[in-house]
Amino acid sequence: MNCTPPGWAAHRFPGGAFCVPARFAGQADAGWFDARRPDAAPVGEGGRQAAWFVDGVHGPAVLRHYRRGGLRARLGGRESYLWLGASRVRAYAEVRVLDHLRRAGLRVPEPLGAAYWRPGASPFYRNAILIARIAGAQALAGRLDRADPAAVAQAIAAMHAAGVWHADLNAYNILFDADDQVWLIDFDRARLGVVSPGQAEKNRLRLRRSLVKVAGARGAQWWDALSRCFPPC
């Protein structure tokens, strides 16, 4: 399997590697993926305190480092993943999914780069992804009173029709831009392939749980309106 989409350039550096679209091949360096870069400002909503707003030659962007949750995070190794080859690096896999969806015409962030660190041929690695920032974006969680269920249903159905199963479809991973267009984000652990009716339903029910957690009865009510907008299986 190719590690990167067509038209991308891969670069190695001591202790790791990164890839970027070819137009940035002569400008990018490993510092693009460093959360300590001077322009990094923490993203305050959603996630695991592992995302930062950044700006530069690549334009306004979001830098996200991959971090585990749950028991593994409490036991240590929050940012470490077992090395299974470059093609299995989670950041690279997410870049491929984003590229696939953008080619299919869906509104998802443009991937601007991905990197991994594996010093000394370690059996573990860390990784990060850089994606274009969506201007004026607001999460569904914070604007249920102004969100169109039909538009959200259409975006989710289009994602499934394009052959992508989202591993964490929740109220923070559905965004509205300044023009009220729906965007889907955070495709870590997403899977490419035919999405069965059962898998699609699993995605939708995960979103329902998120909406109820975020907004209680109002979230459940909004979900009911959303569910009526999905096309029949």
Q: How high does pLDDT run on average in the chain?
A: 92
Separation CA 126–CA 82 (nearest Å): 9
The per-residue pLDDT for range 28-44, each reduced to its tens digit, is: 999 999 999 999 999 87
As a whole number, mean pLDDT of residues 162-175 equals 97
Tokens encoding 146: 């102004």
Report which of residues 6 and 220 the model is more confident about: 220
- pLDDT at residue 217 is higher than 90: yes
Q: Catalytic: 168?
A: yes
Q: How far is CA 134 from the centre of its chain?
A: 12
% residues pLDDT > 90 (the chain): 85
Domain residue ranges of the chain, discontinuous segments joined by +: 8-132, 138-229
Q: Which fold has domain 138-229?
A: Transferase(Phosphotransferase); domain 1 (1.10.510)
Closest of 163, 140, 138, 143 to residue 153, by C-alpha: 140
Closest of 129, 204, 124 to residue 159, by C-alpha: 204
Q: Tell me, what amino acid is at 107?
A: R
User: What does the pLDDT read at residue 232?
Assistant: 81
Closest of 31, 168, 50 to residue 113, by C-alpha: 31
| Residues 186, 125 contacting (CB under 8 angstroms) | no
Packing angle of the helix pair 149-161, 197-227 (nearest 10 deg): 170
User: What does the pLDDT read at residue 3?
Assistant: 77
Q: Pick the catalytic residue: 34, 168, 177, 188?
A: 168
User: What does the pLDDT read at residue 1?
Assistant: 58
pLDDT band at 45 (very low <50, low <70, confident <90, very high): low
N-terminal to C-terminal alpha carbon distance within the chain:
31
Tokens encoding 73: 């995070």
User: What does the pLDDT read at residue 73?
Assistant: 43
Neighbours of 101 (CB within 10 A): 22
- Contacts of residue 219, Cβ cutoff 8 Å, sequence gap at least 6: 144, 171, 210, 211, 212, 213
Separation CA 181–CA 191 (nearest Å): 24
